[in-house]
Amino acid sequence: AIQHRLWPEIEKTVQIQVSMAKMGIGECGSGWQLFAEDGEMKMYRREEEVDGMVVDPLKAVHIVKGITGHEVCHHFFNPQYRYDWETTLEHMTVLETISEDTLVFLQTHKRIWPASQRDGLFWSHIRKLPNEKDRDGPDIWTVVNNSTDHPDYPPNNGKCVRVFLTVCLLCQTTVDPPKEGTSLTRDNLSCKITYCSVVNPGGWAPASVLRAVYKREYPKFLKRFTAYVKNQTKNKPIMF
Ligand SMILES: O=S(=O)(CCO)c1ccc(-c2ccc(C3CCCC3)c([C@H]3C[C@H]3c3ccccn3)c2)cc1
């Protein structure tokens, strides 16, 4: 197949992001502070600024029962579900369908006072990865989102400030085998979700405001998104 212009960047970014997502918090370099915890969900951030702007990297780990990594990534990647779970979204369009596993999105997020409204333009790629720990075990699934350019939508030419983001959702499914002679049900499934994101707000916004927004929005986002996937899949056949 002919190679798309973004393919080399996608390949490299996915490898880097997946290897970073696989690292434990300890290995990931120091400075991670736990800033939110809710049951199995733990959220860490590092306080970092670039040109005086808050770009705090975020790493969240969550363990959710009853769903698979494929189901989580499927609902995160596909545009048709996004308005159901992404509450800060004002508008979303797919600018380009590079392939069935690679899309280019343009999204505007609801304005967060006193910051000006933001939009994001990024490629999104979904991929199944071999399970290196357990060759017979379920595959690992990932979605990587990374800011990119598009000739028709240059940054900051309308009402929105363009954010620059890199996001990696990495999902590892675990199956606890059912008792002899009983069939596999969703009670035998659990999924370890690692969500990493770095969002550069693109234009100045008060650090205190941004950190308050992140502290409120990220836990809400991950809880709402995982609850959405559980609800969407509970009466459907398991998608491995
Ligand atoms: O995981 S994704 O790819 C899912 C596709 O939508 C993703 C996630 C988050 C963002 C995003 C973009 C802008 C902002 C801010 C920056 C200054 C003012 C708006 C925030 C901050 C507000 C925080 C936030 C955290 C989680 C969810 C939404 N909102 C987040 C974009 C994409």
Under 8 Å between Cβ of 115 and 210: yes
pLDDT at 1: 65
Tell me the CA–centroid distance for residue 220 and ligand 1, in Å.
Answer: 11
pLDDT at 205: 86
pLDDT reading at 195 higher than 80:
yes
The CA dihedral of 39, 236, 240, 76, to the nearest 10 degrees, is -60
Mean pLDDT of the 1-15 span: 92
For helices 69-77 and 207-233, give the axis angle rounded to 10 degrees: 120
Q: Is the CB of 168 under 6 A from ligand 1?
A: no
pLDDT at 204: 83
pTM of the model: 0.96
Q: Give dist(CA 141, CA 146) in Å, integer.
A: 17
Mean pLDDT of the 228-239 span: 98
pLDDT reading at 85 higher than 90:
yes
Q: Give dist(CA 229, CA 82) in Å, integer.
A: 11
Assign 113 a pLDDT band (cuts: 50, 70, 90): confident
Over residues 23-33, the pLDDT tens digits come to 988 877 778 99
Over residues 128-153, the pLDDT tens digits come to 999 988 888 999 999 999 999 999 99
Please give the mean pLDDT across all residues of the chain: 95
Q: What ipTM score was computed for the predicted complex, to two decimals?
A: 0.94
Q: Is the CB of 86 under 6 A from ligand 1?
A: yes
Instruction: Pick the closest to residue 87 from 70, 58, 107, 113 (CA basis).
Output: 107
- Burial class of residue 176 in the structure, from the number of CB atoms within 10 Å of its CB (0-12 exposed, 13-18 middle, 19+ buried): exposed
Pocket test for ligand 1, best of 126, 217, 220, 223 (most atoms within 8 A of CB): 217
Atom of ligand 1 nearest to the CA of 76: 4
